Amino acid sequence: MTDGDHGAETGADRPECVLCQAPTEYPESHRGITLCPPCEWQEAQRTMCSG
């Protein structure tokens, strides 16, 4: 019950994860795509194994 603190609504200004459409805390331009922490981690693992 804090009045005067922004961020009450989730998914208002924040983009959605391109994989699971979950709200993220990243800015609009986050390396071209926007991923939530779990999806970003999985993508990182994939990238590491690619090659």
* Nearest distance in Å: CB 15, Zn ion: 11
Distance CA 7, CA 11 (A): 9
Q: Which of 14, 19, 23, 43 binds Zn ion (CB under 5 A)?
A: 19
With binding defined as CB under 5 A, does residue 36 bind Zn ion?
yes
With binding defined as CB under 5 A, does residue 44 bind Zn ion?
no
Instruction: Please tell me the count of residues contacting Zn ion according to CB under 5 A.
Output: 6
Distance CA 13, CA 26 (A): 10
* Pick from 3, 7, 4, 37: nearest CA to 20: 37
* Nearest distance in Å: CB 20, Zn ion: 4
